[in-house]
């Protein structure tokens, strides 16, 4: 099975060398995707922070109140 994988990579390299424009385009796509990965990670970090704030707020609203209570 590993021989097949190597053959596929060799064939892919040969195709890329014969089609230089495809190789350049593939490098451009790789660069843009790698920059998107970092941006997606940052986005998820911010979303997690927003969820944490919401959970904290919900927990504070549901807690049992102590002290003076107004009666109507």
pLDDT in tens, the chain (72 residues): 678 888 888 888 877 777 777 778 878 888 877 777 788 888 888 888 888 887 788 888 888 778 777 776
Longest CA–CA span in the chain (Å) reads: 84
pLDDT number for residue 71: 75
Look at residue 40 and tell me if it is in a domain.
Answer: no
Look at residue 20 and tell me if it is in a domain.
Answer: yes
Using an 8 Å Cβ cutoff, are 7 and 14 in contact?
no
Look at residue 67 and tell me if it is in a domain.
Answer: no
Look at residue 9 and tell me if it is in a domain.
Answer: yes
**Tokens found for residue 38:** 């970092």
- The boundaries of the domain holding residue 29 are 1-34
Concatenated DSSP letters for 21-38?
Answer: HHHHHHHHHHHHHHHHHH
Look at residue 60 and tell me if it is in a domain.
Answer: no
Tell me how many domains the chain contains: 1
Look at residue 10 and tell me if it is in a domain.
Answer: yes
Distance of CA 35 to the CA centre of its chain: 11
What is the C-alpha to C-alpha distance for residues 46 and 37, in angstroms, rounded to an integer? 14
pLDDT number for residue 51: 80
């Amino acid at each position: 099975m590993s021989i097949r994988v190597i053959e596929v990579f060799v064939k892919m390299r040969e195709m890329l060398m014969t089609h230089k424009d495809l190789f350049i385009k593939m490098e451009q796509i790789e660069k843009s995707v790698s920059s998107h990965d970092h941006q997606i990670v940052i986005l998820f970090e911010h979303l997690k922070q927003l969820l944490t704030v919401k959970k904290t707020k919900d927990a504070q609203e549901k807690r049992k109140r102590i002290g003076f209570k107004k009666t109507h």
